[in-house]
């Protein structure tokens, strides 16, 4: 009887650990997607900044001409 109780505790503990690992994996996957989205947005911002810098330079050249 005591061994059955301990075995059940170990089994439940193992299940909880597996569930926790599954949740952690889901969270890591979600974070990875968010990081990818942030990196893509950052690349877009950098491209926009470069475009604005070029346009400002062109406008400066035109105003000096």
Q: What is the pLDDT along the chain (65 residues), one digit of tens a residue?
A: 789 889 999 999 999 999 999 999 999 999 999 999 999 999 999 999 999 999 999 999 999 97
pLDDT value of residue 65: 79
The predicted model scores a pTM of: 0.66
- Residue 21 burial (C-beta neighbours within 10 Å; 0-12, 13-18, 19+): exposed
The pair of three-digit structure tokens given for residue 35, joined into one six-digit string: 């990081």
Q: How far apart are alpha carbons 54 and 34 in whole angstroms?
A: 30
CA atoms 40, 41, 43, 44: torsion sign: positive
pLDDT value of residue 59: 97
Q: How far apart are alpha carbons 23 and 13 in whole angstroms?
A: 15
DSSP 1: -
């Amino acid at each position: 009887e005591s061994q059955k109780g301990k075995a059940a505790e170990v089994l439940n503990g193992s299940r909880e650990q597996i569930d926790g690992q599954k949740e952690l994996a889901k969270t890591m996957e979600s974070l990875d997607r968010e990081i990818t989205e942030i990196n893509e947005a950052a690349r877009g911002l950098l491209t926009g900044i470069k475009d604005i810098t070029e346009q400002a330079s062109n406008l400066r050249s035109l105003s000096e001409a």
